[in-house]
Amino acid sequence: MTASPPVTHQALEPALLACTQGDTVGFQRLQQLGLPRVLSVTSHFLAEPPHVEAVVHDTLLMAWRNAHRLADSGLPPGHWLFTILSCRLHNQLSALEGALPPPSPADGQGPPAELERIPAERRGPALWELSQRLPPAAPGQALEARLGQTLQTLRQAARLPLTPTGESVHPPLYDPSLRRKMLTSRLAYRAKMAFQRTLGRPVEDRLFRHWQARRDACRMLETQGLPRRSLETTLGERLDLGVDPRRLVRGFSYPAGFPDRLQRRKASNLFLWDGDWDLPRHYLIDSSQTRFMQDLWHYRLAPEQSATFQTLEARSDQGNPLRSHHRGLLLDGRERILEYLRLYLLYMEGMACFGFDAEAGKDRLGVAVDRHGRLIKINKGLHRLAMAQVLGLPRVTVRVRSVHRRWWNDQTEGASGHEALERLAQALPDCTPAR
């Protein structure tokens, strides 16, 4: 790669704008403009090529994936790009020193101008200025190969079948043997969604509107539990609460809370839950998701040394690899297992840099309110919550998906319809995580 003049904010802006389109043109353009300078700055702080390559690769890929955040960040394009580098570089250096990563911004709107625990000389604007003084660096064969493989992966994703719920698969983890079951499940899911869209939801919404208007014919709707989706549509973000993820320590198990399978299936569609479902609870620190994230983050420099890798490799060697047509993955070899772990590490690096994004993932972080007005985590977003807890994020946004009928009755005091919903919305901010 020949020497190039310093890159300007004006030159980077159209490249980042192209990244927001979701195709590979933006990634290629960002690589052409940013790689020599990002590489030279990273090499200034790190000596070992594998560490340099990991930081540079992840910085460019996170910038491509999150370019839509630039407009809301308030930062010039160069400062924005090098703030991503600042966070990723700091995490790498912290891992080498055996330290924890810095806390992330709580609003999830983009990288802040300053990350308090990062030294001033390693913050984004300072790294940008350093990049203007250092000579551009040319990537070695290993880094070029890794970026080339990533580019190929981005191109392949559009040609592979979607997961049953409509997400793109990660090509290195996909296997053709999954295709038939994925397509069958995808058709079944689309049929279910079509039924809900054309018949189920319209009926629910109409009855719910009648209940809101306090029409006598729909009094039974509250007795039955109120349709969760209709209530969520009505209240929207008023059901969202900001909490310290480290305080959200109690979890809820559907099988334990609703032993009867039919009752369990009905509960997922209702907002008001009766009975003693809130009594059997467990600590999230003991959950498989928390153990997974703790183990992976501890061994992030060498994921092949983690207990998770060893477990997955043992399953593969025994002829029982982790297989999921719902996620479109088959972990039947060492490289696929490592890629799977690297994918989660990249999610964590993104969360460390940009904070918690309530819109990411298939579902919001779901919680239920128990009979005493305390928040209990349900099985929506458990991996993302575990990431936030391991990273030490100060704040996440959770969505209240169900409440105990006893607490509902205490708050609404016999009111129904619009008045009951208003009393509910006003009471929710006082809910605190169960201990």
CA distance 228 to 269: 6
pLDDT, mean of residues 4-12: 81
pLDDT, mean of residues 236-240: 96
CA distance 202 to 88: 47
Q: Which single residue is written with the structure tokens 């559009």?
A: 158
Residue 2 has pLDDT above 60, yes or no: no
The separation between the first and the last C-alpha atoms of the chain, rounded to the nearest angstrom, is 57
| Beta-ladder partners of 273 | 404
CA distance 104 to 143: 28
- Give me the DSSP letters along 292-323: HHHHHHHTTT-GGGSHHHHHHHHHHHTT--EE
Q: What is the pLDDT of residue 99?
A: 52
169 three-state secondary structure: coil
Q: What is the pLDDT of residue 418?
A: 94
Question: How does pLDDT run across 147-162, given as a tens digit for each residue?
Answer: 999 999 999 988 999 9
Q: What is the pLDDT of residue 107?
A: 35
Instruction: Extract the tokens encoding 166.
Output: 């409509």
Q: What is the pLDDT of residue 104?
A: 37
The per-residue pLDDT of the chain, averaged, comes to: 90
Question: How does pLDDT run across 306-350, given as a tens digit for each residue?
Answer: 999 999 999 999 999 999 999 999 999 999 999 999 999 999 999
More confidently predicted of 223 and 22: 223
Q: What is the pLDDT of residue 253?
A: 85
CA distance 240 to 409: 20
Q: Residue 78: which H helix or E strand, with range?
A: helix 77-97
pLDDT, mean of residues 14-38: 92
2 three-state secondary structure: coil
**Is residue 383 within 8 Å of residue 291, measured between CB atoms?**
no
- Give me the DSSP letters along 148-173: HHHHHHHHHHTTSPPPTTSPPP-GGG
Q: What is the pLDDT of residue 5?
A: 63
Q: What is the pLDDT of residue 100?
A: 46
Give the least confident one: 18-27, 28-37, 132-141. Answer: 18-27
**What does the buried/exposed string (b/e) look like for 251-263 if buried means 16 or more CB atoms within 10 Å of the residue's CB?**
bbebeebbeeeee
Q: What is the pLDDT of residue 359?
A: 80
Question: How does pLDDT run across 162-196, given as a tens digit for each residue?
Answer: 999 999 999 999 999 999 999 999 999 999 999 99
Residue 4 has pLDDT above 60, yes or no: no
